[in-house]
Amino acid sequence: MTRLLEIEGLTAGYGPVQALFGISMTLDEGEVVALMGRNGMGKTTTIRCISRLLPHSGGSLRVAGQDVAALSAPRVARLGVGLVPEGRRCFAPLTVAENLTVAARPGAWDMARVCALFPRLQERMGQVSRTLSGGEQQMLAIGRALMTNPRLLILDEATEGLAPVVRQEIWAGVRQLKAEGLSILLVDKSLKEIASVADRAVIVERGSTVWQGQIAALGPDLTDRYLGV
Ligand code: ATP
């Protein structure tokens, strides 16, 4: 079993403002792990560190066994980290097909497989991505990440702000990816959907890991205390 993520005592911040004070977590190949916590607790910052979009100031961060401290963001992407950032960024003036093509790296994923996962994209191949609906843009953002043939897919708030029916399509896609054995790190607010797909959860509070365990062990005591639901 390959350990895709091994994070120990991670600290990071934005200029003088420290945001992470000690994040520790692991993710093994084939696992789906949910990174949970209230707003502003450090989930996105952790993901930025994993992707090397933000340098960490302390602790250690290994991706597929490699210490990433000296690596650039593109190098980490080549190690197999496929990030779908918050806000579903695509190249707005490009078509769906172009967005997918520019992301492509050799491997098992191609446009046909992305369209099998999200059939709506098939109908929109020639459409410029800025004119897609929010849900379609999110599907495209996930499709772009898959075209890089990641070993680890990271989804940051992939269903935020979307209509319920579209959310369901995206969750169905995520469940299919899990069934195919893809390793996934996800941030989302829907406990119900997380419970349906994640193997384990990691809870962060004020920049530190405060709990991690099997998703089945995430009872009301923990969700009340750390997630405010
Ligand atoms: P959310 O669900 O609201 O996105 P989060 O758990 O992902 O929350 P982060 O976005 O990681 O939280 O934020 C962690 C802390 O870092 C917060 O205190 C936030 O205000 C701060 N922070 C985030 N981005 C920046 C930035 N670009 N500049 C300065 N501080 C930031």
Quote the tokens at residue 163.
């209509």
Per DSSP, what are the bridge partners of residue 187?
156
Nearest CA to 129 out of 88, 163, 159 is that of 88
Residue 119 pLDDT > 60, yes or no?
A: yes
Nearest CA among 17, 20, 3, 31 for reference residue 198: 31
Render pLDDT for 163-206 as a digit per residue (tens, 0 to 9).
999 999 999 999 999 999 999 999 998 999 999 999 999 999 99
Asked whether 20 lines ligand 1 (CB < 6 A), one says no
What is the DSSP secondary structure assignment for residue 130, as one 8-state letter?
A: G
Q: Where are the alpha helices (DSSP H) in the chain?
A: 43-50, 73-79, 96-103, 111-117, 119-122, 134-147, 164-179, 191-197, 220-222
The H or E element that residue 152 is part of is strand 152-156
- Contacts of residue 190, defined as CB under 8 A and 6 or more positions apart, other chains included, come to 159, 167
Q: What is the pLDDT of residues 15-39, one digit of tens each?
A: 999 999 999 999 999 999 999 999 9
CA distance 43 to 35: 7
Residue 46 CA, closest ligand 1 atom number: 11
Whether 145 contacts 153, CB under 8 Å: yes
pLDDT at 229: 56
Q: For 60-110, how does the pLDDT look when each residue is reduced to its tens digit (9 = 90+)?
A: 999 999 999 999 999 999 999 999 998 877 778 899 999 999 999 999 999
Q: Which amino acid is at 131?
A: T
Phi and psi at residue 38, to the nearest 5°? -65, 175
Ligand 1 contact via 43 beta carbon (within 6 Å): yes
Q: How far is the CA of 201 from the centre of ligand 1 (A)?
A: 20
Check pocket membership of 135 for ligand 1, CB cut-off 6 A: no
Ligand 1: centre distance to CA 208 (Å): 13
Q: Residue 146 corresponds to which tokens in the numbers above?
A: 């898959």
Domains and CATH numbers, the chain: 3-80+151-226 (3.40.50.300), 87-149 (no CATH)
**Residue tagged 């890991």 (tokens):** 209
Buried b (16+ CB within 10 A) or exposed e, 70-89: ebeeeebbebbbbbbbbebe
Instruction: Specify the pLDDT at position 49.
Output: 98
pLDDT tens string 137-165:
999 999 999 999 999 999 999 999 999 99
Q: What pLDDT score does 87 carry?
A: 82
Closest C-alpha to ligand 1, atom 23: 45
ipTM: 0.93
Q: Is the CB of 85 under 6 A from ligand 1?
A: no
Contact 180, 16 (CB under 8 A): no
**203 CB under 6 A from ligand 1?**
no
pLDDT of residue 1: 80
Q: Whose CA is nearest to atom 25 of ligand 1?
A: 14
